[in-house]
Amino acid sequence: MVNVAVVGLGWWGRIIVDLLVTHPRFRLIMGIDVSADAAGFARERKIALSGDLEEAMRDPAVHAVILCTPHSQHADQIVRAASAKKHVFCEKPLSLSRGDVLRAIDACNTNKVVLGVGHEKRFEPPIQELMRLARSGELGTLLQVRPTSARTSSSRCRRTTGDFRVARPRRAR
């Protein structure tokens, strides 16, 4: 069993929390976030919450951290976690510059902790069901699969007239 802290309880951090609570190999020890909205989420899920990453770094019960924070914070958080001998799973992108990536990797290598970088879609229930259907043959013989992902319901996702997904093709005259 790997004891983890989820850092960042925004949209993606909440999905990770909900996936972790039913996973047989992970135990969620705490969430880390400073927002009042995160406090409500933590109360609903009955998980410990701290606004201080250092609390997770000092807690011997926490073996690893999962970073669901803004990209600009990843490198520093990875270095802090590695220095505290915590394994790290970081959502993509790892960082915004090559120098920060090298610094984060060096910290993990120096402290002999695992650094994982990923994109979790393959573990989400709809993707798991699609994989089950593909493996079972219920979809027939698949010749090509082209995945597309969009979160169009978000208020942060603004479509513009230049967006290829909403732009209408021009008709020849």
Query: For position 147, what pLDDT does the model report?
Result: 75
Residue 15 domain-assigned (yes or no): yes
Phi and psi for 100 in degrees, rounded to 5? -65, -40
Q: Does residue 144 fall inside a structural domain?
A: no
Does 128 reside within a domain?
no
The pLDDT assigned to 128 comes to 85
Residue 91, pLDDT score: 84
CATH number at residue 57: 3.40.50.720
Which residues are paired to 26 by β-bridges? 2
- 132 domain-assigned: no
Is residue 31 within a helix (H) or strand (E), and if so which, with residue range? strand 26-32
Q: 69 Cβ partners below 8 Å, 6+ apart?
A: 7, 8, 13, 77
Residue 83 placed within a domain: yes
pLDDT for 118 equals 84
State the DSSP H helix or E strand holding residue 79, giving kind and residue range, or none if neither.
helix 71-83
Is residue 33 included in any domain, yes or no? yes
Residue ranges making up the domain that contains 78: 2-122
- Regions of the chain where pLDDT drops below 70: 120, 122-123, 149-173
3 DSSP 8-state letter: E
Strand partners, 91: 118
Q: What is the pTM of this model?
A: 0.72
Alpha-carbon distances of 67 from 57, 73, 170, rounded to whole Å: 13, 9, 44
Q: Kindly state the tokens that stand for 48.
A: 């410990």
pLDDT at 97: 92
Is 78 a domain residue?
A: yes
Q: Residue 109 in 3-state DSSP?
A: helix
Residue 149 neighbours by CB under 8 Å, 6+ apart:
121
When divided into structural domains, the chain yields a total of 1
* Pairing outcome for strands 26-32 and 49-50: parallel
Residue 148 lies in a domain: no
pLDDT at 164: 42
Residue 2 CB coordination number (10 Å)? 14
